[in-house]
Amino acid sequence: MIKSYTAITTEVDDGVVAAKQITDALATFPLLSNTVGLVIAHPEFLASGVYTDVAKALPFPMVGATSISQCVNGTVDTYMLSLMVLTSDDCQFSCGLSEPVTADKDAVEIMRRSYDEMRSKLDSAPKLALIYAPFLDPYVRQSDYIAAISQSADKPAVFGMVANDDLRAAATPRDCAQTFYCGEHHAQRIASVLISGDFDPRFYIASVTESAVIMSRIGVITAIDDNKLLEINNIPAATFFRNVGFLLNDVKRGDKGFLSSILVLHIKDENGYDADISRIPIAIDGDSVFCGGRLVLGAVLSVAFNTKEVVLETAANLMNTIKKNHKGGTVIANSCLGRRYGLLGEPMRELELIRDMLDGDFNYTAVYVNGELCPTDVTGKAGNQEHNQTLVTCVF
């Protein structure tokens, strides 16, 4: 069994004050024999040194990442550092930090070495791998991190997030999107924690509603190159979308409507069960389309749009499912930053909805991320996947 507690600070300038706020909260927590901390902070907490001061004050290891918005047990904010403490007598936690991941290195092998090192410190097979990944070049994909763990003998469920910052339009937008590991912060390393023992994590995902689908099951993906969509129904991808009247502009200029859509892939998971995963088209390259995640050959394709109403309805439906299936416990929720943009003038509305629906029954964190990692199977026994434009949750 894992008990969890949360603490926050909104003190972004004074590390001494921030560390005291966190440690004062820690003093009220009955920590058990094994403990780990999950830390999320706005990038400003790095620039000010507050993150480092808080990390030095923690009496246990920690991992985490940056995010520009989060919600923690009733508090919704942008400039906030949060700590979720996981503590247990019958579960073990093993933290790790990978070597730097760059486009010229084998990300699968780097993650495999990190996993093997963490695994060697556990007495039993891990049931869950929590991954905090850096926001890197799109040709370095988080699917590689998942593959390394899914190919292991243990095959634990993978749940996690890609760090984000609020400098996406700057010349060097990824300098502030960092991962955290025991007081360190990195722009190119993956921070992780493996969890083994007596607990039963469950997973829930939500992306689009039926009403958000504008083109249902319009074709089958017949050719791909990893995250590059080459053909649908044996027709070059961009040509296919032009033929159905969706891609209207010159492909060299792209199409804003198309590039703001969601491609829903209807697939079979490893156990043969139906599952849906979402991908966003991020660039048109000749007659091909780059997507925000690895594609699945043979997947049936639908097209949907992200709107404020879709974001809120899917979030509410997912929270209702959690409340129906669980009478309490710990919830870790990661929502795509694109869902935040879909809320237009109310960018915190999804976090506020999660707060309103979970408050009083669960210990929870909800955070906006640049990529979502989660099994498609509720038990985590199959379907470790990366997702786009999706809200993913881990409950235990």
In this prediction, residue 89 carries a pLDDT of 97
Torsion of CA 280, 68, 394, 24, to 10 degrees: 170
Phi, psi of 375 (to 5 degrees): -65, 150
Question: How many angstroms separate the Cα of 365 from the Cα of each of 30, 125, 326?
Answer: 20, 26, 16
Alpha-carbon distance of 326 to 103, in angstroms, equals: 41
Beta bridge partners of 161: 132, 372
Question: How many angstroms separate the Cα of 178 from the Cα of each of 72, 186, 262, 337?
Answer: 20, 5, 27, 16
In this prediction, residue 190 carries a pLDDT of 96
Taking alpha carbons only, the member of 238, 237, 235 closest to residue 255 is: 238
What is the pTM for the complete model shown?
Answer: 0.93
Question: Which residue type occupies 51?
Answer: Y
- The DSSP annotation for 60-88 comes to S-EEEEE-S-EEETTEEESS-EEEEEEEE
Question: Which residue type occupies 126?
Answer: P
SS3 percent helix, strand, coil of the chain, rounded to 5, is 25, 40, 40
pLDDT by position in tens, the chain (length 396): 999 999 999 999 999 999 999 999 999 999 999 999 999 999 999 989 999 999 999 999 999 999 999 999 999 999 999 999 999 999 999 999 999 998 888 999 999 999 999 999 999 999 999 999 998 765 567 888 999 999 999 999 999 999 998 765 444 444 579 999 999 999 999 999 999 999 999 999 999 999 999 999 999 999 999 999 999 999 999 999 989 887 755 444 445 578 789 999 999 988 888 999 999 998 888 899 999 899 999 999 999 998 999 999 999 999 999 999 999 999 999 999 999 999 999 999 999 999 999 998 899 999 999 999 999 999 998 889 999 999 999 999
Beta bridge partners of 224: 229
Provide the terminal-to-terminal Cα distance of the chain, rounded to the nearest Å: 9
In this prediction, residue 138 carries a pLDDT of 59
